[in-house]
A and B are shown apart, each in its own frame.
Chain A
């Protein structure tokens, strides 16, 4: 038993040496998880869409329509770039990318309101990016509700006493919309917690498969024997390497899941202990997944190809962008064997909702299951590797 622990220790020590003498692995183990979270957050850090250029076609040209335009200009998401004389001129502005939306106020805007007829204002909005039109549409809805209340109040004031009584009882049902989780509706706050999990998993796999590529190259050059290998049982081999990777990654994890959210004021409602407890099985299963994927890696360069392309697929399978309930069948099955999927599903809720570990029990257990599964496959791989004849 004692010798088993000793061989784990020897494997671990050798692995440390391999890691720190390989510039490529250092790049992926240290530089990538340090720099990428910062780069990604900087890209998304403005969080919300502000001051989108909007053109106005005011066919009414009255005090009422000008007041509407001023209110549109005051919306956080809109910035009125100017009055176009007609819809076709506004179209030209749109075509030359001077505005993303056009508001058209009808000719009889003021008169309709005065006569208690419905005034219909048209909003033409570019639909190329979800974030752009989402921001403008939500703001315009709020504006419409505020304007309607205002106009209604004026009408009631004109009618006088009998209307006060009727309106008093009629306006009593209010609505109250609350956003939970990402309360600022920011994009970085939404996407970063998930991306952090993917960065942890992918950089681990990248480094591990690159080490494996080096091993394969050494074996090829030396007639099937790795001169830097350590003679140990299969279990000791994978455990020794796991310990090495974990020792490197636990400090990195503290940086990634604790420092990054507090540096950029991302959602951070959970507790440090929960974060670390949750991420631990993600690291273990990613390590073993990396050791399993070694089977596809025969050269140091191939590891890059395996990981780069899978990153985008894993991002979309994780349920961050396209929600989990809409992923079905084969893709659902594929998603469920990727550690980052469960990592994203659980960690995002720890961070944004301040959920307890108990609330994310299902992803947490799945991570441990995957850790066991990939430990088995990694063990099988080492156990039945073709020995040099």
Chain B
């Protein structure tokens, strides 16, 4: 069969396959798009501000009330509870009502003004990382401001220093922090940019494995292969190319949602991210094709790919950095195409580095497409003699 007509026939078959069963639509469109919308909506605030906390004011003086007022005006915490003792506040945390508490000791005002030792204590519940960190920041800012204000007042009152010098005395050295390209510490920026492509990659794994092994399961694979003139490369290309198109277009829509409508940072020409997405899609398909070529059996391929795919969310370092993992664990992150996409996102979209510095990430994604060459011969052999083992 001439090459072109085989290719044409195979592509037609590939397109027909997409509308042949509901599961294709459900998995290729509904799941990833639904997940993207869920994610974007859940974290649309960027940061979970106003964590509920408790205050234990044992002093109840004008000064302590001012500290509590300062704390209430912080956007990070919401003073939702007044507890009368340490034990009561701790119980609020233990039962999950509050995410931290702030204690003003008895005789705080008298001690502070009289120059005796007084201490503001605050407890942040790090069982939940993000609210714990936010309450810590809110508490810290209030406590440091309160103690700094007192010191400054005393120093000025002593007559040794004027107001400005006392201020300098408080903080002779300041570290001014510049968080590059995400000064709001928006949580959604990097979680959406990693987990949504991760979900797409997982779907691509499963759909690829499903569509190249389903004919073997049903015993129709000799016909599938014959439609492309017995060439396994044309057969898999015809099956997968229409899916590549769907996933790429959906991905572009998601990127438009990120960078165009939700204002996520995009400090590179859009083409850099669009091409990275396309390469990620193809590389993930190639990886899945490689694995299902080795395993051939549909259920085994699906199981292995989903067990691997679900680990991707952890091992590719979306939350815990790869370079901090044990080396023998971290090395697995490089097996996942989505890891390289994530690195491109950090370099290009977030940090706006010149393309030169990310060149290897693109090259590696391209190299992934060579993987199936190593296993397609086996798939072909099994397609000719389909045996389904349940």
Point out residues on A near B: beta carbons under 8 Å: 24, 27, 32, 39-40, 42-46, 48-50, 68, 95-97, 113, 116-134, 137, 140-141, 143-144, 147-148, 151-152, 155, 159, 162-163, 165-183, 185, 187, 190-191, 267, 300-302, 304-305, 308-309, 311-313, 316, 319-327, 331, 345, 348-349, 352-356, 359-363
Q: Does B329 contact A (CB under 8 A)?
A: yes
Which residue of chain B has the shortest Cβ distance to A144 in the bound complex?
B175
Mask of B96-126 contacts with A, CB within 8 angstroms, 1/0: 1001100000000001101111111111111
Point out residues on B near A: beta carbons under 8 Å: 23, 27, 31, 35, 38-39, 41-43, 45, 48, 50-52, 90-91, 93-96, 99-100, 111-112, 114-133, 136, 139-140, 143-144, 146-147, 150-151, 154-155, 158, 160, 165, 167-183, 185, 187, 190-191, 195, 198-199, 202-203, 206, 210, 298-299, 302-303, 306-307, 309-311, 313-315, 317, 319-321, 324-326, 329, 346, 350-351, 353-354, 357, 390
Beyond contacts A127-B179, A155-B172, A359-B91: 12 other A-B pairs, Cβ-Cβ < 8 A, are A44-B314, A121-B173, A125-B177, A125-B179, A129-B317, A171-B151, A177-B122, A178-B124, A179-B125, A180-B123, A319-B128, A320-B128
Residues on the B chain within 8 Å of A40, using CB: 314
User: Separation in Å of the A144 CB from the closest CB of chain B?
Assistant: 5
- B180-A312 in contact (CB<8A): no
Pairs A–B under 8 Å by Cβ, sample size 17: A43-B311, A118-B171, A121-B176, A127-B179, A144-B173, A148-B170, A166-B158, A174-B119, A178-B121, A178-B122, A190-B128, A301-B302, A305-B306, A359-B91, A359-B96, A362-B95, A363-B96
- B326-A180 in contact (CB<8A): no
Residues on the A chain within 8 Å of B144, using CB: 175
User: Separation in Å of the A207 CB from the closest CB of chain B?
Assistant: 12
Q: A49-B321, A185-B126, A313-B35 are in contact. Are A169 and B154 (CB under 8 A)?
A: yes
What CA separation (Å) do A308 and B198 show in the bound complex?
Answer: 13
User: Separation in Å of the A43 CB from the closest CB of chain B?
Assistant: 5
Q: A46-B326, A304-B302, A355-B95 are in contact. Are A140 and B27 (CB under 8 A)?
A: no
What CA separation (Å) do A172 and B180 show in the bound complex?
Answer: 37
Which among A143, A152, A168 has the greatest number of chain B C-beta atoms within 10 A? A152
User: Separation in Å of the A45 CB from the closest CB of chain B?
Assistant: 7
- B155-A170 in contact (CB<8A): yes
- A163-B173 in contact (CB<8A): no
Q: A174-B119, A174-B147, A183-B126 are in contact. Are A127 and B180 (CB under 8 A)?
A: yes
User: Separation in Å of the A58 CB from the closest CB of chain B?
Assistant: 14
What CA separation (Å) do A96 and B167 show in the bound complex?
Answer: 40
- A129-B319 in contact (CB<8A): yes
User: Separation in Å of the B206 CB from the closest CB of chain A?
Assistant: 7
What CA separation (Å) do A30 and B111 show in the bound complex?
Answer: 61
- B118-A44 in contact (CB<8A): no
Q: What total count of A-B pairs have CB within 8 Å?
A: 311
What CA separation (Å) do A187 and B390 show in the bound complex?
Answer: 41
What CA separation (Å) do A162 and B199 show in the bound complex?
Answer: 66
What CA separation (Å) do A173 and B311 show in the bound complex?
Answer: 48
What CA separation (Å) do A174 and B178 show in the bound complex?
Answer: 27
Q: A95-B357, A301-B302, A326-B45 are in contact. Are A312 and B313 (CB under 8 A)?
A: yes
- A140-B173 in contact (CB<8A): no
What CA separation (Å) do A320 and B129 show in the bound complex?
Answer: 8
- A304-B175 in contact (CB<8A): no
What CA separation (Å) do A321 and B52 show in the bound complex?
Answer: 16
- A325-B52 in contact (CB<8A): yes
User: Separation in Å of the A115 CB from the closest CB of chain B?
Assistant: 9
Residues on the A chain within 8 Å of B302, using CB: 301, 304
- B171-A176 in contact (CB<8A): no
What CA separation (Å) do A121 and B178 show in the bound complex?
Answer: 11
One of B42, B174, B298, B317 near A120 (C-beta < 8 A): B174
Q: A49-B324, A172-B111, A323-B99 are in contact. Are A116 and B315 (CB under 8 A)?
A: no
Which residue of chain B has the shortest Cβ distance to A183 in the bound complex?
B126
Which residue of chain A has the shortest Cβ distance to B115 in the bound complex?
A169
Which residue of chain B has the shortest Cβ distance to A122 in the bound complex?
B176
Residues on the A chain within 8 Å of B91, using CB: 359
Residues on the A chain within 8 Å of B124, using CB: 177-180
One of B45, B175, B329 near A42 (C-beta < 8 A): B329
Which residue of chain B has the shortest Cβ distance to A176 in the bound complex?
B121
- B174-A144 in contact (CB<8A): yes
Q: A127-B181, A180-B93, A349-B127 are in contact. Are A173 and B118 (CB under 8 A)?
A: yes
Q: A116-B165, A175-B119 are in contact. Are A359 and B351 (CB under 8 A)?
A: no
One of A122, A148, A182, A312 near B199 (C-beta < 8 A): A312
User: Separation in Å of the B218 CB from the closest CB of chain A?
Assistant: 12
Which among A46, A49, A352, A363 has the greatest number of chain B C-beta atoms within 10 A? A46
One of B90, B127, B307 near A182 (C-beta < 8 A): B127
- A128-B346 in contact (CB<8A): yes
- B94-A359 in contact (CB<8A): yes
Which residue of chain A has the shortest Cβ distance to B205 in the bound complex?
A308
- A120-B127 in contact (CB<8A): no
What CA separation (Å) do A151 and B183 show in the bound complex?
Answer: 29
What CA separation (Å) do A127 and B345 show in the bound complex?
Answer: 12
Residues on the A chain within 8 Å of B96, using CB: 324, 345, 349, 359-360, 362-363
Which among B171, B176, B320, B351 has the greatest number of chain A C-beta atoms within 10 A? B320
- A304-B181 in contact (CB<8A): no
Which residue of chain B has the shortest Cβ distance to A42 in the bound complex?
B329
